[in-house]
Amino acid sequence: MKKIIILFAFLAISPSGFCQSFDKDEVINISVYEKISPAIVSVEAQVKDGVSAGTGCIVTREGLILTGSHVVEGAKSIEVTTYNGQTYKAKFIAKMADKKDLALLKIEPSTNLVTVSFGDSEEVKVGQKVLTIGNPFGFSNTLTQGIISRIDYTKNRFQTDAAINPGCSGGPLLNSAGEVIGINQSIYNPDHNISNIGIGFAIPSNEAVKFIATVDKTKLQNSKAKK
């Protein structure tokens, strides 16, 4: 009888009585995800052929959002959904010139938002670990990981094997500190970019920082006034 009581007692405390342990790499993944996912949004643009879906990074507490320009190109209307399920109508603010595939949107949140922080993309090295958070095929706030596989200095973009799929465009490529070092742009695939085979591309974060800095504040004020 005592043995049975002891067994039941052990079973009763074992699920909650012992702390889950994580290795160093897991701790980094969990920390980055918990820190950054509130600053990542899903983007849905109504375009001529249907819905164009992507991901965005919140860059100001007032609701300025960075995404891929091809996600919102020619959009009739744009909706942004935050990590907690809140949906906002978004205004198109600006598009980066020279086919750099970056755009800025603006929403009007009722409270201040969590934002991303940018790392120096000049410091990025081939082989370093990277993580992404995006909305592949509508699966919101999905975390994947990989490495920087190659740096294309001619086209000024990073190549990574982190899983980037349709719906991830405009999302962050993150270092282990949770800093944005790139903006996910595209994948290479023999099935016409339907799925991921480990060759994805991102625009260096320094390009995004320069773009954001060029946006005239009057554009943001006018956008708010026209709401």
- Known catalytic membership, residue 31: no
Q: Residue 130: name the closest of 12, 26, 29, 23 by CA.
A: 29
Half-sphere exposure of 58 (CA within 13 A, CB side): 24
Determine which one of 70, 186, 205, 223 is catalytic.
70
- For 44, phi and psi rounded to 5 degrees? -130, 120
Q: Kindly tell me the burial class for residue 86, based on how many C-beta atoms sit within 10 Å of its own C-beta (0-12, 13-18, 19 or more).
A: middle
Is the distance from CB of 102 to CB of 203 less than 8 angstroms?
Answer: yes
Catalytic member of 42, 69, 101, 186? 101
Active site residue 70: yes
Q: Which value, to the nearest 10 degrees, does the dihedral of the CA atoms of residues 103, 222, 107, 69 take?
A: -10
Catalytic residue ranges: 70, 101, 169
